[in-house]
Chain A
Amino acid sequence: DGGITQSPKYLFRKEGQNVTLSCEQNLNHDAMYWYRQDPGQGLRLIYYSQIVNDFQKGDIAEGYSVSREKKESFPLTVTSAQKNPTAFYLCASSKGQGMTEAFFGQGTRLTVV
């Protein structure tokens, strides 16, 4: 089945450690996005990529890094510089140019302990 997969579903991290969240899609989509969601709030854009080997900062990129070496994959690293990393992280993808409907993965809940 075609879709977008995030892993793991739940992740625990000690303070000061970097952690990488996985996002894979087999929809042949050009564009991929990472959002952060805090309790009772909307989605805020961290990074997005419109094409392989290219990405742009979103509204809250500080403390995060991404790579886009393959069309199917857009991993997000939450670094130790992120002051408040506990949140629900959502990855999405869309065809990019023209068709712009974005489809989401199931999310990763990151908790810093």
Chain B
Amino acid sequence: GQQLNQSPQSMFIQEGEDVSMNCTSSSIFNTWLWYKQDPGEGPVLLIALYKAGELTSNGRLTAQFGITRKDSFLNISASIPSDVGIYFCAGILTGGGNKLTFGTGTQLKVEL
């Protein structure tokens, strides 16, 4: 099936630092979603993007829908310990029947 390449695979950062992660695909997507998953729980939706070039914020989180429609970026500013978790990108292919395809995840660890 379709794969989304997400990087980095893991990050170990200091509290207060900014974080960036991205997701790329060989196919064009018409929707990008970013989720956060805590251990043993279901993913929680953070941000949804629907238009190429769109830049959307949710508190300290900012995500962008790449202009080529083949990538997306998530930034977290001034990280705090509760930002720890796994972040997933997800995309919906143009003509893909609303089927979500997920990236492999970025594990974020925050050092006090």
Task: Report if B88 contacts A (CB, 8 A).
Answer: yes
Interface size class of A (residues with CB under 8 A): 20 to 34
Chain B contact residue count (CB 8 A cutoff) = 24
Q: Report yes or no: A43 in contact with B99, Cβ–Cβ below 8 A.
A: no
Task: Report if B103 contacts A (CB, 8 A).
Answer: yes
Per DSSP, chain B at the interface is strand
Q: Report yes or no: B98 in contact with A106, Cβ–Cβ below 8 A.
A: no
Task: Report if A59 contacts B (CB, 8 A).
Answer: yes
Given contacts A104-B44, A105-B42, contact A45 B101 (CB under 8 A): yes
CA distance A48 to B99 in the complex (A): 8
Q: Report yes or no: A106 in contact with B99, Cβ–Cβ below 8 A.
A: no
**Interface 9-residue window, one of A12-20, A63-71, A76-84, A90-98:** A90-98
Binding site for A on B (CB under 8 A): 1, 6, 31, 33, 35, 40-45, 48, 88, 90, 92, 97-105
- Apart from A104-B43, A105-B42, 7 more pairs, CB < 8 Å: A42-B6, A45-B1, A45-B100, A100-B31, A101-B33, A106-B42, A107-B41
